[in-house]
């Protein structure tokens, strides 16, 4: 299946101009695919306006990952520090 890839380039979200093969990514990945270019551009705009603060850099592998509001709340409720490693790296530890 082809889609337009959206990803965080280190400073902001961008979308590819050509469709590429959709790949499976970890649940907290900042990479995603949209079925058409208009959806991709809308998502990029929304991410850059609202969600860019939720992107963190994994201190283990250097990948960018999302910190969702739900997840942040979960850690706050338990008086724990938000994770500084991505899902894949955290999973590897266990």
Instruction: Kindly list the residues in this chain that would bind Zn ion in the complex (CB under 5 A).
Output: 58, 60-61, 63, 86, 89
Instruction: Compare residues 40 and 58 and give the one whose CB is closer to Zn ion.
Output: 58
CB 68 within 8 A of CB 82: no
How far apart are CB 66 and Zn ion at their closest, in Å? 12
How far apart are CB 37 and Zn ion at their closest, in Å? 30
Instruction: Compare residues 3 and 83 and give the one whose CB is closer to Zn ion.
Output: 83
Distance, CA of 2 to CA of 8 (rounded, Å): 19
Instruction: Compare residues 48 and 64 and give the one whose CB is closer to Zn ion.
Output: 64
How far apart are CB 38 and Zn ion at their closest, in Å? 32
55-86 burial code (b ≥16 CB/10 A, e <16): bbebeeeebbbbbeeeeeeeeeeeeeeebebb
């Amino acid at each position: 299946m082809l889609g337009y890839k959206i990803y965080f380039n280190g400073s902001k979200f961008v979308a590819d101009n050509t469709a590429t093969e959709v790949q499976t990514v970890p649940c907290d990945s900042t990479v995603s695919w949209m079925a058409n270019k208009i959806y991709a551009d809308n998502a990029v705009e929304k991410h850059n306006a609202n969600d860019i603060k939720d992107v963190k850099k994994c201190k283990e592998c250097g990948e960018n990952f999302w910190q969702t509001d739900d997840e942040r709340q979960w850690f706050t409720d338990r008086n724990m520090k938000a994770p500084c490693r991505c899902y894949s790296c955290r999973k590897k530890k266990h």
